[in-house]
Amino acid sequence: MQLTKPATYLVVGASGVPIDVAVTTVASAGIGVIAAQAVGWFVAATWNWAWNRRETWDSDADPLREWARYLGVDAGRLAVRLGVVAVVVGAVPGIVATVVGIGAATVLGFLGFDRLVFADA
């Protein structure tokens, strides 16, 4: 059974969450929870791009250009995530704020990737 694009995107995204949370948690010990969001994001975004490219959109576009576009779109998701984290981090632990921020940006990411990064796939 083959999953739909949105379902595959969610599976790929879910596989990146533990990577993101782990990197963010480790980095936050040295640079704080807000700055660590960018480190966790970059590592997980690269992971997710590689798997979304292969499994969700089956893209054969130039990888470097596509990765750069992916990071650009995902930077918009990061902005949403950081905003959410900044609002809720005082009320919940940093790891919970991170997961809430990631969840808030999920739909935005799918639409942007589908229309701006992998439109030709």
Question: What confidence category does residue 47 fall into, taking pLDDT thresholds of 50, 70 and 90?
Answer: very high
Q: Got the DSSP string for 27-92?
A: HHHHH-HHHHHHHHHHHHHHHHHHHIIIIIS---S-HHHHHHHHHHHHHHHHHHHHHHHHHHTTTS
Residue with the two structure tokens 């590689």:
50
Predicted confidence (pLDDT) per residue in 5-44, tens digit: 999 999 999 999 899 999 999 999 999 988 998 899 899 9
Residue 11, pLDDT score: 96
One-letter amino acid of 59? S
6 Cβ neighbours under 8 A, 6+ residues apart: 110
Domain that holds residue 112: 5-117
Q: How many domains does the chain have?
A: 1
Model confidence band, residue 107 (pLDDT cutoffs 50, 70, 90)? confident
d(CA 94, CA 9): 25
